[in-house]
Chain A
Amino acid sequence: MSSDPLEIPDVLKPIENLLKGVTVMKPGRVVALLEPGDVVKAYVALKARYGETGLYFSTLVATDLKDEGKIRIDYYINVLEKNQYVVLRTYVPRDDPRIESLLKEAPAALPGECEAYDLLGVVFEGNPHLRRAFFVPEEVAEKDIFPLRKDAGV
């Protein structure tokens, strides 16, 4: 499962110049570490290479890494042509989590972005649908508690 971290897998060739590192997540998902500002560029490059029907945006996972003071955002993209999952991984600071929205390029990112905003407070700039108290009870939302943060105490 483990691979040479220097070797760039085939599937990531279109975004070679943006990569800050490559790892592998079990089972066999290629993880591309990116700067927060490069995620949209990377997605556009992948889409240009594999075509509109050659890949789809699958899942957005935001994780609170409290000890490191960061929030990690993973974009899971299924590249149908290569039959492989690509993970675009980036870190944003925990006290001011902001990242450009992927909504224009991938409408499929909508539920994931709204959820990450409501549960972890990650602001996706350019997404007009973000709103607090989607599901958290209003009194929790008013206190600015993000339930999936580790110190939320929910």
Chain B
Amino acid sequence: MTEEVSKVDKVVEIPMTVEIPVGPQHPAVHEPILIKVYAEGEYVVKAEAYTGYNHRGIEKLAEKKTFYQDIFLCGRVCGICNAVHADCYVRALEHILNKEPPPRAKYLRTLVMELERLHSHMLILAVTAEIVGFDTLFMHMMRDRELIMKAKEIVTGNRVLADYIMVGGVRRDLNSEKMDKLKKILTKVEPRIRYYWRVFEEDVTLNKRLVEVGRLTPAQVTSHGLLGPVARASGVATDSRYHDAYDAYAEVPFRIVTRKEGDCMARSLVRFEEMQVSLEICRYILNHLPEGEAVPDERRLPRRFPEGEAFTTVEAPRGELTYYVMSKGGVNPYRVKIRTPSYNNIINTVPFYVGHMVADVPAILASYDPCISCMERVTVIDLRRGTRKKVSVRDLARGEA
């Protein structure tokens, strides 16, 4: 790994660069990605991302399966944000079919997606704590995250993979008994979230590791197309819930959380505040759930789709998720394009590791909330920004470069 300066025949100041692979086994989250970091002393001078440990080719597969089978396929692009994937795809289908789900179904979809945001944010905040060496907090947060998983099980029938959203509505309804259970869970979770929020704000360890680390400016955010909490922590108010006002977000009151600092701590605190907003949304939905039908009869849905195309976006826990679905008629989609938030957030942020300490790299990576299975359903990219020419220290020393 170490490249030594073999011989110096010129008086050139050559920094000794050490190549340090971060990953692919366990860079920050338990997901495979390799970030090669080139360090001079303790500081990163160059970073490269190597991905491709988790590629599945879902877009091609989606063209071969039927529109309805793809709903479940899309839900399995990512385990954590499965309902948002399905919702985005299903809304594209609904636009092609010119179908509008009933209001109750819209509210229920929103409820599931907010529960998903809650548990996703809790997961990544717990992992952030673990990365900086605060394992106790990790354990505590994961324990309380189970409550939200339970809430999701109550609504959808499964704690992780919801398979909840169907063209023209949702696949299960809520009764008052389930709603009471959910309300109880929300009341139980809220003080816990507030407590962890305070820990993040006040704890010395976390502050030392997260404040002023991995700062991004608003211009960097927009030019590199960063999304979600990463963008909002730098003061860029992008939120598809507001831009598109899909499902029930047009009616449910919520606010876009932004912060100015743009560092790892800001990203964590944005997530905490968003959890607070999510809890409020969930509670609003449980209290204001419209009456009526929510579950369509799946046996009566049209099998063949008309020609058409639609481009839908969803605010996934990690940022804006976009689906493009094109139909040429028939039972199979002609083209399904999935662009996940991690795809932009991870690949495009690699140049921003430069100038940070090596030890901060996992903390920064965790603060971007990487979801490798989201990112890698299609592509593998070798990314080298800045100087394209790979100059080894040895060559430099020989005066060849």
Q: Do chains A and B touch in the complex (CB under 8 A)?
A: yes
Chain A residues within 8 Å of B, Cβ to Cβ: 25-27, 29, 52-59, 61, 63-64, 74, 76, 78, 80, 83, 85, 87, 106-112, 114-115, 118-119, 128-129, 131, 134-135, 147-148, 154
Q: Are A80 and B311 in contact (CB under 8 A)?
A: no
Surface stretch bound by A, among B1-9, B77-85, B152-160, B376-384: B376-384
Q: Mark B367-400, 1 if CB is under 8 A from A, else 0.
A: 0000000001011111111001000000000000
Task: For the complex of A and B, list the 5 residue pairs with the smallest distance between their C-beta atoms, beginning with the closest.
Answer: A108-B225, A26-B95, A135-B380, A134-B380, A59-B339
Contact B380 A27 (CB under 8 A): no
Across-interface contacts of B110 in A (CB, < 8 A): none
Expressed in whole angstroms, the Cα–Cα distance for A111 and B383 within the complex equals 9
Report which of A54, A109, A115 forms a contact with B379, defined as CB distance below 8 A: A115
Chain B residues 314-367 with CB under 8 Å of chain A are: 320, 322, 324, 326, 334-335, 337, 339, 343-344, 347-348
Residues of B within 8 A of A135 (CB): 52, 55, 57, 376, 378-380
Q: Is B17 an interface residue (CB 8 A)?
A: no
B-side contacts of A27, CB under 8 Å: 95, 244, 310, 312
Assess whether B380 is in contact with A59, with CB atoms less than 8 Å apart: no
Q: Is the CB of A110 within 8 A of B380?
A: no
**Smallest CB separation, B93 vs chain A (Å):** 11
Residues from chain B with a CB closer than 8 A to the CB of A59 are: 311, 322, 324, 337, 339
> Which residues of A have CB within 8 Å of B376?
135
Closest chain B residue to A56 by CB distance?
A: B222
The interface centre, meaning the residue of B96, B237, B378 with most chain A CB atoms within 10 A of its CB, is B378
* A76 lies within 8 A of B322 (CB): yes
Nearest neighbor of B381 in chain A, beta-carbon distance = A114
24 contacts between A and B (CB under 8 A): A26-B310, A52-B222, A55-B222, A56-B221, A56-B225, A58-B320, A59-B322, A59-B337, A78-B320, A80-B238, A85-B311, A109-B225, A111-B343, A111-B344, A111-B379, A112-B339, A115-B378, A118-B379, A128-B388, A129-B383, A134-B381, A135-B57, A135-B376, A135-B378
B381 touches A25 (CB 8 A): no
